Chain A
Amino acid sequence: MNRLEAKFKKLKSEGKKAFIPFITAGDPNLEVTKSLVLELEKRGADMVELGVPFSDPIADGPVIQKSSQRALKKRISLLKILELVRQLRQKTTIPLVLMGYYNPIFKFGEAEFVKRFSQVGLDGLIVADLPPEEANDLKKEADKNNLDTIFLLTPVSSEERIKLVSASSTGFIYCVSYTGITGDARKGEEDLKELIGKIRMLTSKPIGIGFGISSPQAAKKAASLADAVIVGSAIVKRIEKYRGNKNLLREVGTFAERLARAINVN
């Protein structure tokens, strides 16, 4: 059993939901990212998603776009993130998931990527522009190395796609809250009950909800439907605001703690 599966099992037995914060690796720099992961864990994160910056993040809104740009200015690459994961693994056993776009992984070499990242203790992978149809090679490698591959579903997914994505996903299934890009405050909430219900009929795998969850109230609502709640832009926005400020860890940590509490309050 790998770390993601073990964590979801444990939370389930305790009647709890997972809180999964997202931060971009290398924003504002790798040292701070490392401290942030540890701080987030202390404040109640059950797993952490590390964003791999990409020059053309078409599924991201302005907040994460800018965050990626800041990280790229620091010349963050997969090799540096590999080292980050290795160092983090010496300090924590919290499940770590990378989220990014396909091209850097393709360029790195899929087999090489999976081999080296699973060696240093990465647990899962989300690739925003890689649907299951194009993921056969990557998935074969990932399965061999016990690295979870998390695919996404959205409010416009058909039953056929729900089947495909559920079957392809390991670790959990990522349910996108609305049709759109990350961190879109303009988006009204969609009714996810029906989608989640359909997914539950087809699989017992855990479901996480993410995109646009920006407050403890919204996190609480998502937690009532799913097994995990992912919060990205709202946290990254605070990193943007407090970067270079000595209170960065505390500010982000306090916000994370409010989210974590909201997710597991009954």
Chain B
Amino acid sequence: MNYLPDKKGHFGQFGGKFVPETVMPALQELEEAYLQAKEDKNGFQAELQLYLSDYAGRPTPLYFAERLTHNLKGAKVYLKREDLAHTGAHKINNTLGQVLLAKKMGKTRIIAETGAGQHGVATATAAAVLGLPCQVYMGDEDIRRQKLNVSRMKLLGAEVIPVSSGSCTLKEAINEAMRDWVTNIRSTYYVLGSVVGPHPYPMMVRDFQSVIGKETRQQILAKEKKLPGYLLACVGGGSNSLGLFYPFLEDEVELIGIEAGGLGLSTYRHGATLARGSIGVLHGSKSYLLQDRNGQILFTHSVAPGLDYPGVGPEHSYLKESGRAKYYTVTDSQALEAFRWLSEIEGIIPALESAHAIAYLKKLAPGLKRDDIVIVNLSGRGDKDLEEVGNESPRGKV
């Protein structure tokens, strides 16, 4: 399984390069540069390693959540603390890699899209430390509900460009970033924030995020002398989940991805691409999609902006079809409840995205044996969500 994608960027029937012709040479250039960097152990890889450790604070801890474990009365629960990485989410693993690559390629300008703002902040951060100008596309609705991250990006020297078309969320931000890229293809490097988009992005972002799974594997073996039974992560585009899963693909470990159930799957106001979607092509690759019968892309909804997206990475579609990974959904209200619950019980305020995985843990863990191990990827911290959670909560508890 680890040999995927094939040379043309396909994961079985998924993936590929469905882009305007202008982008094709840039994708080839990127692929060549990336494959070279990947093999450049003493150069690129060593430099990235140094940034990841000394700058971003890796490895992030694998934390045994004792109170959570007692409370759930089932499996032993560990949390992979991506919330403790610099900028507060896993996104920095990918952006340091990509911006470093952009620099090696001689690109002079960085662009990105962002939903929750975490990828925007992480890109702005990497661009700042590596000395490149950065512009981030962000939907109006996300600017409204992730104000903290907008301020952070600006402070980091990035320009935030509001996008006011369609649902004004992540999908439209990617559309605009792609239009910018097509227009400024010679000078500009597009830092995509998840395992989506045309080849080589899904492969490259997966590789950069695999540091999560590699560390987790070593850490759990050191602590427990055995592999976990279950890995759990939320799925927006799918980068934190794939980063955790990938180094375990060949192991007997259950891989579980949690999508945004929004207001419920029967309402059509959700982001449950794998649970409810059908196969199609969006943003450069073939994958599951939320679309109508005419192939028009549907609007989505999630309380978590990072999960509010009608597509998903092609490798996840492949893992779903092959049965290697399982995907379930959690609603807004379950995620909000988990957001408070983890804060109170473990003193960790999770990002609303990550809270989806925690909510599913609550369903899963009590049914498991005491010596089963579940590892949840805590993909980010929840400071960015406090204001919005206050709005969502009639109890006004936050």
Residues of A at under 8 Å CB distance from B? 54-56, 58-59, 61, 65, 72, 77-79, 102-108, 128-131, 133-134, 151-154, 156-158, 161, 165, 176, 179-181, 184, 187
Q: How far is the CB of A239 from chain B (nearest CB, A)?
A: 19
Q: How far is the CB of B202 from chain A (nearest CB, A)?
A: 15
A-B contact pairs, 6 of them (CB 8 A): A78-B295, A107-B294, A108-B295, A129-B18, A131-B18, A181-B179
Contacts of A154 in B (CB 8 A): 21-22
Question: Which residue of the partner chain A has the closest CB to B25?
Answer: A156
Q: Are A103 and B182 in contact (CB under 8 A)?
A: no
Contacts of B278 in A (CB 8 A): 107
Contacts of A59 in B (CB 8 A): 20, 179, 182
Q: Is B369 an interface residue (CB 8 A)?
A: no
Per-residue CB proximity of B14-50 to A under 8 Å, as 1/0?
0011111110111000000000000000000000000
Q: Is B293 an interface residue (CB 8 A)?
A: yes
Q: How large is the interface on B (under 10, 10 to 19, 20 to 34, 35 or more residues)?
A: 35 or more
Q: Are A156 and B22 in contact (CB under 8 A)?
A: yes
Given A107-B280, A108-B295, residue A131 in contact with residue B25 (CB < 8 A): no
Bound-complex Cα distance A222 to B16 (A):
33
Bound-complex Cα distance A59 to B22 (A):
10
Bound-complex Cα distance A59 to B297 (A):
16
**What is the total of A-B residue contacts with beta carbons within 8 Å?**
105
Q: Are A105 and B295 in contact (CB under 8 A)?
A: yes
Q: Which of A103, A151, A157, A180 contacts B25 (CB 8 A)?
A: A157
Q: Which of A58, A104, A165 contacts B20 (CB 8 A)?
A: A58
Q: Are B182 and A179 in contact (CB under 8 A)?
A: yes
Per-residue CB proximity of B173-211 to A under 8 Å, as 1/0?
001001100111110000000000000000000000000
Contacts of B25 in A (CB 8 A): 156-158, 161
Contacts of A131 in B (CB 8 A): 17-19, 21, 24
Q: Are A103 and B297 in contact (CB under 8 A)?
A: yes
Contacts of A105 in B (CB 8 A): 295
Q: Are B293 and A152 in contact (CB under 8 A)?
A: no
Bound-complex Cα distance A93 to B282 (A):
34
Among A55, A156, A165, the most chain B Cβ lie within 10 Å of the Cβ of: A55
Q: How far is the CB of A73 from chain B (nearest CB, A)?
A: 11
Q: Is B166 an interface residue (CB 8 A)?
A: yes
Per-residue CB proximity of B142-170 to A under 8 Å, as 1/0?
00000000000000000000000110000
Q: Is B296 an interface residue (CB 8 A)?
A: yes
Q: How far is the CB of B208 from chain A (nearest CB, A)?
A: 24
Bound-complex Cα distance A61 to B183 (A):
10
Q: Which of B8, B20, B283, B291 contacts A107 (CB 8 A)?
A: B291
Bound-complex Cα distance A56 to B113 (A):
15
Q: Are A65 and B17 in contact (CB under 8 A)?
A: no
Q: Are A55 and B297 in contact (CB under 8 A)?
A: yes
Bound-complex Cα distance A153 to B291 (A):
30
Q: Is B171 an interface residue (CB 8 A)?
A: yes
Q: Is B284 an interface residue (CB 8 A)?
A: yes
Q: Are B21 and A106 in contact (CB under 8 A)?
A: no
Bound-complex Cα distance A104 to B291 (A):
10
Bound-complex Cα distance A129 to B280 (A):
13
Q: Are B280 and A176 in contact (CB under 8 A)?
A: no
Contacts of B8 in A (CB 8 A): 133
Q: Are B19 and A179 in contact (CB under 8 A)?
A: no
